[in-house]
A = this chain, B = another copy of it.
Amino acid sequence: MTYCVGILLEQGLVLASDTRTNAGVDQVAITPKMHVFEVPGERVIVLLTAGNLAITQSVVNLCREQLTSDEGGPHLHNVSSLFEAASVVGSAMRSVHQRDGESLKAHGIDFSASILLAGQIRGEKPRLFNIYAAGNFIEATADTPYLQIGETKYGKPIIDRVIKHHTAIADAVKCVLISFDSTIRSNISVACPIDVMILPKDKLRADHRHRLTENDPDYARLRQGWGEGLKTVFSSLPDPQWSRV
């Protein structure tokens, strides 16, 4: 399983992904799910992947190979908008489906994959997309400025309560880490280390990347403060009178 989240803020993008992959419970490994395509100062595009690892690795590899292919055609370093970038990744997803879809079906395996694409190309604002297994995609907007893939539910309530489009980057990072803590506590197939990427608006560089282990002091402090704070708030809430039996 996987948990990835992308948040689209006025000040930029906050992205995070866990690193656990598993095929059954007896084959567990660490695999990064955050993939960076960068032309420093001109564009930065980040893919966060969830679903069947063979599919998503193939999609990312196809996108990498296109960069140096002699065939020409659009790729992530030459498209002029994030919309086109999402279309390039969607096409790569369809190529993998064309190659592997029938064989997977014959083995009773769903073609399950989804990819968050986030970043900025000079001349555009930061943008955030969710690309589905069918290669189609949706874009986040200021009204609901986040997208999640993978094991999304445990970590959604805190995001719904805290995140607005105008939220500060540092607050969004805190919120994302709490969202990961809730998810990791509830689903052992999501696990540290967590990769966090901050893409400040108009910086167009992927140089704010952080990998948090379980024992990272910032993460530990945040988890402890949050857990204790929740218990304090909980204790302070009034009992409904009728619950005193």
| Chain A contacts to B: CB under 8 angstroms | 12, 153-154, 156-158, 160-162, 169-171, 173-175, 177-178, 182, 185-186, 198, 200, 208, 210, 218-219, 221-222, 225-227, 229-234, 236-245
Assembled-state Cα–Cα distance A243/B178 (Å)? 14
Q: Which residue of B lies closest to A199 (CB)?
A: B245
CB–CB A218/B237 < 8 A: no
Interface of A is mostly: helix
**In this complex, which of A12, A185, A222, A240 has the most chain B Cβ atoms within 10 angstroms of its Cβ?**
A240
CB–CB A210/B242 < 8 A: yes
CB–CB A243/B186 < 8 A: no
CB–CB B226/A170 < 8 A: no
Q: Which chain B residues lie closer than 8 Å to A242 at the CB level?
A: 208, 210, 218
Looking at the complex, which one of B156, B200, B219, B225 makes contact with A186 (CB distance below 8 Å)? B156
Q: Which chain B residues lie closer than 8 Å to A173 at the CB level?
A: 239-240, 243
